[in-house]
Every structure is written in C-alpha cells, then in structure tokens.
Amino acid sequence: MAQIIAVANQKGGVGKTTTAVNLAASLAAAEQPTLLVDLDPQANASSGVGLDRNSLKYTTYHALLGVAKSSEIVCSTQLNCLHILPATADLIGAEIELISEPERETRLRTALSEISNNYKYIVIDCPPSLGLLTINALTAADSVLVPLQCEYYAMEGLTQLSKTIRLIQRRLNPALSMKGILLTMFDRRNNLSHQVSKEIRRHYGDRVFNTVIPRNVRLSEAPSHGLPILLYDIASTGAVAYLSLAKEIISTGN
C-alpha cells in the first residue's frame, strides 16, 4: 500500500507544484515507484513532467466523477518509476459538479484505492485553496506536506490550514498526520529568510524538515521545458535540495 502525501497550502506562489513535481521525481529517481496526482485545475504538474494536456482523453476530473478508472488515466513520464494522474482545466468544474453528489469528499480516496498497491509513494498536488478538491486530497492522504516560503507573511496561512486539517481528522480521516513543513524560496543572502526560518523552527520544532529549498533560477526554468529539475539540471542547488528532501522522507519513514 502506498504512502499518500498531500502537498497543500492555500496560499499561492509558495512552491507547492514545484515541490510536488520534484519530490515525486526525486522519489522515483531513488527507484521508489511513485505516482504524482495533479489535483490543481491549473494543471501545472502535468505540463511540468512534459505531458501534452491537449492529447489527454481522461484526467483526474473523470476519476473524481467516476467516468473512468484510475488505471485508464495513469500516464508514464520520462522517469521509469514515475507515473502521473494528469489534469486539465476541466477540473475547475469538478467542485461544482460534486456538490450534490454522495460521498463527494471521498471520491479521490476511492479512485486511488484501485491502483495504490502499485506504488510506494503517491504525491498529490493540491490547488491553492481549501475547497472540495483539497478536502478530497486530505481525505485520501496519510499525511500533509506544507511548503512555506521564507517571507514575512509565511505563517499567516498555516492557521487556517491547520484548522482544516483538524476538521478532516475529526470527520473524514482520523489517521491524517502532518508530514512536515518545508521551507521554500530560501535566499541565503537575505537576512529576512534567515529570520523567518529561525522563527518557524522555533514555533514548529521537529515538524520542519531539515532540508531547505533555495531560490534557484534553474528550478524556475525547468517547468517551461516540461522537465523536473533532475532532468533539467541535476547539478543545480534546486535538484540537490529536492533529492535531499526525498532522502529525508525515505530514511525516516516519516
């Protein structure tokens, strides 16, 4: 049975999709069979691993609505151990269409149950909101990984996300846990980055990953080439950081 990790933060621009794509790719590079689930209507995780979204017959939208099985939707990528359940902008309609449907919060859990035994890790890229799609992800997940940018308002969004996690734990998924907080966009030349990092570690202690993701031009360029950073520039500081994060997750069994 796969370990399912939801990468979630309702704030945009925190490196959420970058983290989902590159963590999944790094786990796959470590020969861990991994599935990346694109649950964001922007579908950047899908294009970030080189998929042509216009060529897709079925997507996560169809999985949530029960139109197609996950096994019919899974696509391969350029990494042997990495598969993806892709998305397109059609996913925007899923939240509206599911509102009146029974068991609307557990649709993703049901969809993944069919294929979860094929993988060691399943990484879900959530949308930048706390709507029904994210609720589906948290209900399906074993744990939540929260990317947190090293900027002034970094901790503001954590309060609402923490409330949502507790609500999911009480009503839908008692086993859901916090995988950890990942500091992103860290600029070693910037005193504010160091101050924010210190403050977050003081507040959250060992819930913060040791790995820190730096600001890195190559990391920003990789999605435009449809490549995870490992395939775009494995020697870059961004690639090294995500490999370190994958190692941290694998070694701790966390």
Q: pLDDT tens digit string along 174-217?
A: 999 999 999 999 998 888 889 989 999 998 999 999 999 999 99
**Would you give the DSSP letter of residue 213?**
E
Per-residue pLDDT band for 12 (boundaries 50, 70, 90) equals: confident
Q: What is the pLDDT of residue 53?
A: 85
Strand partners, 182: 147
pLDDT of residue 146: 96
Query: For the segment 34-54, what is each residue's pLDDT rounded down to a tens digit?
Result: 999 999 999 999 999 999 988
- DSSP three-state, residue 185: strand
Q: For residue 254, is pLDDT > 60?
A: no
Q: What is the pLDDT of residues 98-110, one digit of tens each?
A: 999 999 999 999 9
Residues 3-252, CATH architecture: 3-Layer(aba) Sandwich (3.40)
Exposure string (b/e) for 50-84, b if CB count within 10 Å is 16 or more? Answer: bbeeeebebbbbbbbbeebebeebbbebebebbbb
Q: What angle do CA 234, 141, 239 make, to 5 degrees?
A: 10
Q: How does residue 160 score in pLDDT terms, banded at 50, 70 and 90?
A: confident
Domain boundaries of the chain, sorted by first residue: 3-252
pLDDT value, residue 189: 87
- Position of tokens 């294009």? 47
Q: What is the pLDDT of residue 159?
A: 83
3-class SS at 126? coil
**What's the pLDDT tens digit per position in 211-234?**
999 999 999 999 999 999 999 999
Closest CA to 219 of 19, 44, 83: 19
pLDDT digits (tens, 9 = 90+) for 70-105: 999 999 999 999 999 999 999 999 989 999 999 999
Whole-number average pLDDT of the chain: 94
pTM higher than the cut 0.75: yes
